[in-house]
Amino acid sequence: MMFKQAARIAIVSTVIAGAGTFAGYGYAQSATEGAIGGTVQDSTGAVVPKANIVIHNNGTNAEQTVTSDDSGFFRVIRLQPGLYTVTVNAPGFRAFKSDKVDVTVGALTDVNSTLQTGSSTDTVEVTSDTAAINTTSPDFAGLIDQQTLQNLPVSNYRWSAYAALTPGVVVDGSGFGLLSFRGQSTLLNNVTIDGADDNQAYFSEERGRTRAGYSTAKASIQEFQVNTSNYSTEYGRSAGGVVNSVTKSGTNQFHGDLYFDDRDAEWGASNNYALQTVQNAAGAFVSTHIKPTDKRKQYGGAIGGPIWKDKVFFFFAGDRFDHNFPAVAAASVPATLYAVPDATLPAGKVCGTTGGTAPSTLDASVCTLQTNLGLPTYAAAATDYINGTAGLNSMLGVVPRKGLQDIFFPKVDWQINAKNHFNAELNRLRWVSPAGIQTGLVVFDGASSFGNDYVRDTFLISKLDSLITNNLSNEVRYQYGRDFEFEFNQTPTPYEQTNLVGPTIGGYTNPMGLPASVSITNIFTFGTPNFLNRAALPDERRWQIADTANYNRGKHNIKFGVDYVHTNDIVNNLFSGFGAYSYSTLTNYFTDLYLSQSAANTASSRYKYTSFTQGFGIPGLEFQTGDYAFFAEDNWKATKRLSLTYGIRYEYEQLPTPLSNLVNPALPQTGNHPSSKTNFGPRVGFAYDVFGSGKTILRGGYGEFFARILNGTIYNSLISTGLAAGQYTASFTPGQAGSPTFPRIIAAGSLSVPPNVVYFDPNFKTPEIHQADLTVEQDLGHNTVMSVTWLGSYGRRLANFTDTNLPTPTTQNYTVVDTSGKGPLAPGSIFTSKFYAKLPNTAVSPCLSQRPNCAYGAISDIFSGVNSNYEGLVGQINHRFSNHVSFSANYTWSHALDYGENNQTATTANNLLDPQNLRAEYGNSNQNVPNRFVINGVVTSPWKFTNTALKYLANDFEVAPSYALQSGLPYSMTSSGSLTSGFGGINGSNGTFRIPGIERNGFEQPKTNVLDLRISKRFAVTERVKLELLGESFNIVNHQNVTSVNALGYTVGSTGTLTFNTATASPTVSQFGARTATNSSNFQFAPRQLQLAARLQF
């Protein structure tokens, strides 16, 4: 099959490459190259036809020669980024020569030459600057060039840190480096390197994902191309943005650099939520602020030069990242864990209030524990409660954590002859991180529940550029890559070994030798995380072949191409394979814990957990997907002032055929696999020089784009069909037939509860986005450009998941309890909600799953029925470096709305509040950030002392600040607890635990505010060797950027109460909206950090 597909691609490529009947002028945006063009005219302004133009690469001496047409136009495409010399000759005129013409990827550099009358042996030399405004491109895109990469401070060296400098881009709340373009999901972007696919198809993130330090050596990157909309039809498989990394190449001159960066938390600030809590001699819990170690050392270098002058060149970059960053394992709401009950009930207080007044909320919890355990006195229960808390606390504190990464990047360029250029590059990454799955500074997991993280990435990219004729060129690109990610558990803590693994006090020994996961609301999660172990998630291998042809003639440039990506995924991961318990309160957990240690094992008091989930079946499987694309585009210089771009792209994602042994005959829909073959995406754009002066440009466009169906979603539909031959997850509620008693798990083969099922809706379609924008750009002079842009993005057919195996809903009344009167629901009122009540489970009508289809649990439909809308207004001002200053500033106002787009890979996340009412989901998008402002700049010292001492002390200073301010991310008010007659949540659907009638994402976290600063000093060691010393500070003002808040608004009581969450009502629970973590990210948001660095360039 693979060879047949490759043959099809090769045949189509050959046809396109020979399509000489199609004419082309203009410049079609390229993923790896740039272009030079312009108009040749004389001193009177008359055009000069048939002029001879020579384009000379200053680095490699490669040359191309073209002739201006009858209108004086010329255009040379497929130029490697770098500096060029342009020479123009015409009979009767002096030669024109412009050196240091800068070519950047995906852009055309205008060189408008004016010839003077005279002998052609005379030469007029000029220094050419790139025009301040591109007068021909309709794209709304940004370029992160070498000056930005070299001079601006960023806290990490991922492409996303630089892409976040551009407008229309929002940083996700976790600070991992995931980005949202135009309000779209962070999973809908496309990342490429030198035009080749650099994504991981399974999780739909960058290859290697975000826990690894970064994916490419920083010394290997020439520039980043950030495409937000109207990008070339050559780009696709994205409904968000496309970011392309362009790597460096060798030249005829040896060049390179060495660098060393050293960052240490000891030089910086502390995190306000980094607390360590210990129990003192009096039995009280005392918390103190700590500053965990955080040391980052990054060092490496690069070198490039000739192997064979003018013919063969090499480039090599190596990089090591050594990160020692212990974390703090903590309770999500410390007040809940560390509240100490009264040792004995105060005078007048009585459990159950019979003959006295009710005790405090905490003491009442101890009373419940006394009843559950059958203890003779309150004091005995209080002792157990305090001891239980101390046991949990033994799993908290500072957790050792490290990360070590190595990257090697060799590249070879071969100028075969004047018309053919070949290059090949290899990128090898290795990442090892004990306890590194959880990357935050403060983590709400036990000390042995972080998980060990490993990444092995290798890819090879090769490319052949051919100039077939003066008008026809062709590029063939090939890639083979492997992204192998695997993660395993840590050694269990003594607490887990004693109470969960065994042999326990009650005599139980876990047959798997690892603890089940235990999650306690407002406390933390411990045991084996439900997502481990991952022997491969995924082991993903990819090969890609692409062919693009350009034909130039007249005022048109038409580009045709084909692109095919074959992805092979091997997955070895059984979700919740070790079992997972969830508890709503400490009292419930302590009940099950102590009864598991008791010989009595009072059955009537057991089963205090909220739910138990366990996965069964095969460890995983292997499957393939194929992504086909065909595209055509015409760039037409319609008039001297108007440029038009129009084209179309077709995409088809070939999904694997359902495995015959895994298609469930009782549920034929498990054989559904979508086949969207109508994904034709037209794109059109224009750029209009309003006054013909090149100073005022109106540009705009529209495009239809398609995203991929995630391979993770495909995998779940293949393996979760409810058959024993695949994988299946069983969920239990307390006391349900077949449910285990804590801490037991269910042995394979003894399952008595029907499994959950996942399937594709028969009408599922590929996600589709319509994008449009309109920009007015004005050259203000003095190398300064200002623009105003309207952005629109309209999502259709976006994915979500919903349970279709729920009973017909009834209604449920709740009594609202709110002592503060601050909640959105009126105190004392009756709140009525739709309620999906369980079916009866009787001997007459046995229904173990308590669902309409008794043979199964949740039957999740993957459907594509969600719409989204985004509109924004962007203001930008950019000043190119001149007079020792450059700066860039942009402000984005926007609003993103949708009907509940699901931003997760796992199909287990049925996050609709009401499966029967999608309209109830309408509200702010998860990526809605109404305001974002970014400004950065570089200032160099204007003085040039000639005195030897002063020259070394005072010359060549540079200051570079970078500032980003944005609105906080939105969040929804949630509930905890549920009635036993439902499946979970306030309406019993076990979807998202929001409150009906309260707006989704109607609340906003505090704004984030980050100011970074770099100060550097350069020293000229020799004429070619320069040393730079740098000092950098990230979040220099130590702004407390909130990364987590308590979204719990109401607690559902078993008797039908709905209690608002306030500190007054329950001092052991953090009130709604309270901050639970700030600056708890080792990537985007962190406390103030200082870094010292040195860089040697030659």
**Residues 894 and 183 sit within 8 Å (Cβ to Cβ):** yes
Q: Which of 31-45, 536-550, 752-766 is predicted with the least confidence, judged by mean pLDDT? A: 31-45
Q: Which of 18-22, 403-407, 671-675, 745-749 is predicted with the least confidence, judged by mean pLDDT? A: 18-22
Confidence of residue 208 (pLDDT cuts 50, 70, 90): confident
Judge whether residue 712 has pLDDT over 50: yes
Confidence of residue 416 (pLDDT cuts 50, 70, 90): very high
Positive/negative CA dihedral, 817, 822, 826, 828: positive
Positive/negative CA dihedral, 749, 751, 754, 759: negative
Q: Which of 168-172, 327-331, 433-437 is predicted with the least confidence, judged by mean pLDDT? A: 168-172
Distances (CA, A) of 209 to 160, 569, 1061: 12, 15, 37
Q: Where are the beta strands (DSSP E) in 761-783?
A: 768-781
Among residues 573, 579, 589, which one has the least CA distance to residue 534? Answer: 573
pLDDT digit string, tens, across residues 663-688? 999 999 999 988 889 999 999 999 99
Question: Mean pLDDT across the stretch 970-990?
Answer: 81
Among residues 960, 1085, 1078, which one has the least CA distance to residue 1035? Answer: 1085
Judge whether residue 290 has pLDDT over 70: yes
**Residues 449 and 527 sit within 8 Å (Cβ to Cβ):** yes
pLDDT at 1068: 54
State the CB neighbour count (10 A cutoff) for residue 943.
11
Q: How far apart are CA 60 and CA 984, in angstroms?
A: 67
Q: With 0-12 CB in 10 A as exposed, 13-18 as middle and 19+ as buried, what is 1075? A: middle
1071 DSSP 8-state letter: P
pLDDT digit string, tens, across residues 1000-1048? 999 999 999 999 999 999 998 888 999 999 999 999 999 988 888 888 8
pLDDT at 577: 93
Judge whether residue 4 has pLDDT over 50: no
As a three-state string, the secondary structure of 655-680 is CCCCCHHHCCCCCHHHHCCCCCCCEE
pLDDT at 275: 74
In terms of DSSP bridges, do strands 108-110 and 34-42 run parallel, antiparallel, or are they unpaired? parallel
Q: Which residues pair with 537 in a beta bridge?
A: none
How far is residue 366 CA from its own chain's centroid? 44
Confidence of residue 120 (pLDDT cuts 50, 70, 90): low
Average pLDDT for the chain: 87
pLDDT at 24: 30
Q: How far apart are CA 234 and CA 223, in angstroms?
A: 19
Locate 267 and state its tokens: 């030089």
Rounded to the nearest 5 degrees, what angle is found at the Cα of 165, between the Cα atoms of 257 and 105?
A: 60
Identity of residue 978: S
Backbone angles phi, psi at 387, to 5 degrees: -65, -40
**pLDDT top residue among 1019 and 1086:** 1019
pLDDT at 404: 96
pLDDT digit string, tens, across residues 924-960? 999 999 999 999 999 999 998 888 788 888 899 999 9
pLDDT at 173: 65
**Residues 980 and 733 sit within 8 Å (Cβ to Cβ):** yes
The CATH 2.170.130.10 portion of the chain extends over 140-249
Among residues 440, 623, 194, which one has the least CA distance to residue 1081? Answer: 440
**pLDDT top residue among 986 and 718:** 718
The CATH 2.60.40.1120 portion of the chain extends over 30-127
**Residues 179 and 169 sit within 8 Å (Cβ to Cβ):** yes
The dihedral formed by the CA atoms of 815, 818, 819 and 820, expressed in degrees to the nearest 10: -160
Q: Which residues pair with 67 in a beta bridge?
A: 52
Q: How far apart are CA 977 and CA 991, in angstroms?
A: 13
Q: How far apart are CA 611 and CA 520, in angstroms?
A: 11
Judge whether residue 229 has pLDDT over 80: no
Rounded to the nearest 5 degrees, what angle is found at the Cα of 734, between the Cα atoms of 729 and 737?
A: 70
pLDDT digit string, tens, across residues 429-484? 999 999 999 988 889 999 999 999 999 999 999 999 999 988 899 999 999 999 99
Alpha helices (H) in 436-585, listed in sequence order? 494-496
How far is residue 532 CA from its own chain's centroid? 21
Q: How far apart are CA 66 and CA 56, in angstroms?
A: 12
| Termini Cα distance of the chain | 49
Q: How far apart are CA 799 and CA 804, in angstroms?
A: 15
Residue 438: CA count within 13 A, CB half-sphere: 28
pTM for the structure as a whole: 0.89
Alpha helices (H) in 254-310, listed in sequence order? none
For the domain covering 30-127, report its CATH number.
2.60.40.1120
Judge whether residue 194 has pLDDT over 80: yes
DSSP 690-740: SSSSSSEEEEEEEEEEEPPPPHHHHHHHHH-SS-TTSEEEEEE-TT-TTPP
pLDDT at 10: 38
Locate 800 and state its tokens: 């979500």
Judge whether residue 7 has pLDDT over 70: no
Question: Mean pLDDT across the stretch 647-655?
Answer: 97
501 DSSP 8-state letter: I
Q: Which of 10-24, 476-490, 856-870 is predicted with the least confidence, judged by mean pLDDT? A: 10-24
* Sequence-ordered list of residues with C-beta below 8 angstroms from that of 818, at least 6 positions apart, any chain: 825, 826, 827, 1059, 1060, 1062, 1065
Q: Where are the beta strands (DSSP E) in 986-1041?
A: 1003-1004, 1008-1020, 1026-1034
**pLDDT top residue among 1021 and 173:** 1021
Judge whether residue 995 has pLDDT over 70: yes
pLDDT digit string, tens, across residues 177-186? 788 899 898 8
pLDDT at 8: 41
User: For the domain 140-249, what is the CATH superfamily, name and number?
Assistant: TonB-dependent receptor, plug domain (2.170.130.10)
pLDDT at 752: 64
pLDDT at 14: 34
Backbone angles phi, psi at 713, to 5 degrees: -65, -40
630 DSSP 8-state letter: E
Percentage of residues in the chain with pLDDT exceeding 70?
91
Q: How far apart are CA 198 and CA 177, in angstroms?
A: 15
Distances (CA, A) of 147 to 144, 152, 222, 1024: 8, 8, 10, 18
Positive/negative CA dihedral, 978, 983, 987, 990: positive
Judge whether residue 5 has pLDDT over 70: no
